[in-house]
Amino acid sequence: IGGTIPGIPVVLTGRSSALGWGITSSYADDQDVYIEELNPDNSEEYRTPDGFKKFAKRASIITVKDADPITLTLRWTDNGPVLPGSHYNLAAITPPGHVAALNWTALDPADTSIAAAMQLMEAKTVEEGITAGEAYIAPSQNLTLVDVNTIAMKTIGALPARDAAHQSQGRMPTPGWIAANRWQGRLPYSANPEFLSPRGGIIGNTNNKTVDRPFPNHVSFLWGDTQRIQRWRNLMQRRQVHTRDSFIEAQLDTVSFTARSLLPLIGAELWFTGETAPEGTSERQRQRALTLLAGWSGEMNEHLPEPLIYAAWLRALQQRLIQDELGALAEEFDHVDPLFIERVFRDVDGAAAWCDVLQSAPKETCPDMARMALDDALIWINETWGTQLESLRWGDAHQATHDHQTLGEVPVLRYFMNIRQSTSGGDNTLLRGRTRGTGPDPFANVHGAGFRGVYDFADPDSSVFITSTGQSGHFLSHHYDDLAQLWRRGEYIPMSLDEELARAAPVGITKLVPEAE
């Protein structure tokens, strides 16, 4: 029992009577882009370490409604499929007479990931679960496992074996005809990070860095989290004994470690300074905002104004810090990088230089930038949400967007298909609610936990779960969105494997019968 993807016959995160498992993205560097040189005398060939070689080719026919079919010729190199120059603007970095190709573990023709997942469902112990993970190829995940005696976390998925002489270490596109840039197969499964029954008896992952190994045996150059893991550790260390309810509390926690650590830094010279400004002035609005933030706990609660003020301030601050140095490239950084801002305001290795605007004659300080950024944020808030700061609600700006991927853009239908909910949490809270970062609604909640589960192996039938919408994918069904409000409020439903309990009140029974050969 647990969370599945329609059409895939496996429980990706869930439990059996003997084993519980969950997955988080490992952020493994399992993709490389290569620049392949075409033979100037024959464009059907590309350069390899051993000379020119013909592309592998296959025709793909795409049928189009009310139109003639389109035939595309797909090409492969030894490094992987050739990508169109329009993908991610690859043409901008691809020289004339060259093409780009992608090598990715998920393109392995002998992908046994589904078989591995099915084997995991049959595992009875943590050790058997780890063994099942060896056949898993992609996309790489951190697999957390628990049985009645043991806990563990194992990175599953193929990790490329790269040459120590790789020109870019996989971080940038490289010439595909240079042997040192090509993958040397994959690392052995035993080399994947593994944590088995650690001291203290607790394992967790928030997409944070798990190991620190130098290239080429590293896992990733870019991890998904540096902040939420700090709050998780704090909650885990508060108790000597944890219960199902304390784990639910952690799963629903909305306190931002980032807010608690950065606000004292960026506001150090702004709190309660100067005389009270006249009502209606920008100075007075700034003082009101600072007064609210000074008494705030850092809880990203949907009903509070402080999370919106804080989020808008941090966003405006990073924009001011990088705009003059990066120009148009600054627009690519659409989410706040907490470590960058901390380094700047602590002046780590001279990072406070980012506070000075290069194009201006005065030398701006970091408190200057913090003050101006707060004014920027308040102007945006005033224009978007109104001038009454105390009446703001974070949940109005942080609505969860459960959009139907196919019918969500169809006029009229979209009002039935798409689900909108005011939500707590944010980019850096354990109750994840990653914001869009761009556009007119930069704080819309566009990425969160579609499935939450807490499994108690002291009393397995007390385990609970919730999904963010409902059990049915049909928008006319009562079960299309009947779990959505429970999910929003942080409530759960029972997760029992007792068949008699399930049969006691079914709304119907669906049988899937394989077609006879």
Question: What pLDDT shows up at residue 445?
Answer: 97
Which pLDDT score, from 0 to 100, does residue 507 have? 80
The answer as to whether 252 is a domain residue is: no
**For the domain that residue 19 is a member of, what is the CATH number?**
3.60.20.10
Please tell me whether residues 352 and 423 are part of one structural domain: no
Does pLDDT of 31 surpass 80? yes
Least confidently predicted of 20-24, 156-160, 219-223, 414-418: 414-418
Structural domain ending residue among the three candidates 107, 126, 158 = 107
Q: Which of 396, 384, 385 is nearest to 301 (CA)?
A: 396
User: Does 438 map to a domain?
Assistant: yes
User: Are 114 and 199 contained in the same domain?
Assistant: yes
- Domain-located, residue 375: yes
Residue 178 C-alpha from the chain's centroid: 33
30 falls in which pLDDT band (50, 70, 90)? very high
pLDDT of residue 204: 95
- In tens, the pLDDT along 230-261 reads 999 999 999 989 999 999 999 999 999 999 99
Average pLDDT, the chain: 94
* Domain membership flag for residue 175: no
What percent of the chain is predicted at pLDDT more than 70?
100
Neighbours of 511 (CB within 10 A): 4
State the DSSP string of 92-160.
Answer: GTS-TTEEEEEEEGGG-TT--HHHHHHHHHH--SHHHHHHHGGG--SS-EEEEEE-SS-EEEEEES--B
pLDDT at site 514: 84
pLDDT band for position 412 (cuts 50, 70, 90): confident
User: Same domain for 35 and 96?
Assistant: yes
Q: Are residues 16 and 147 in the same domain?
A: yes
CATH code of the domain containing 56 = 2.30.120.10
Q: Is residue 357 part of a domain?
A: yes
For tokens 């978007």, the residue is 384
* Structure-token pair, residue 496: 């029992």
Is 257 a domain residue? no
Grade residue 414 by pLDDT with cuts at 50, 70 and 90. Answer: confident
285 and 393 housed in the same domain: yes
Residue 458 vs residues 307, 461, 491: alpha-carbon distances, Å:
38, 9, 21
Query: What is residue 67's predicted lDDT score, i.e. its pLDDT?
Result: 95
Structural domain ending residue among the three candidates 332, 363, 397: 397
438 and 473 fall within a common domain: yes
State the total domains in the chain: 4
- Long-range residue pairs from 246-249, CB within 8 A, at least 24 positions apart, any chain: 247/454, 248/454, 248/464, 248/490, 248/492
CATH code for position 318: 1.10.1400.10
Same domain, 365 and 275: yes
pTM for this model (two decimals): 0.92
Q: Is residue 309 part of a domain?
A: yes
Q: Which of 364, 382, 397 is the last residue of a domain?
A: 397
Provide the pLDDT confidence category of residue 405 given band limits of 50, 70 and 90: confident
User: Do 117 and 22 belong together in one domain?
Assistant: yes
Tens-digit pLDDT profile for residues 337-368: 999 999 999 999 999 999 999 988 899 999 99
The answer to whether residues 302 and 384 belong to one domain is: yes
Residue 15 lies in a domain: yes
Q: Is the pLDDT of residue 509 over 90?
A: no
pLDDT category of residue 273 using cuts at 50, 70 and 90: confident
Q: Do 137 and 7 fall into the same domain?
A: yes
Write out the residue range of the structural domain in which residue 452 sits. Answer: 399-498
Dist. CA 91–CA 72, nearest whole Å: 19
Beta bridge mates, 447: 434
**Domain identity same for 218 and 351:** no
Q: Are residues 326 and 380 in the same domain?
A: yes
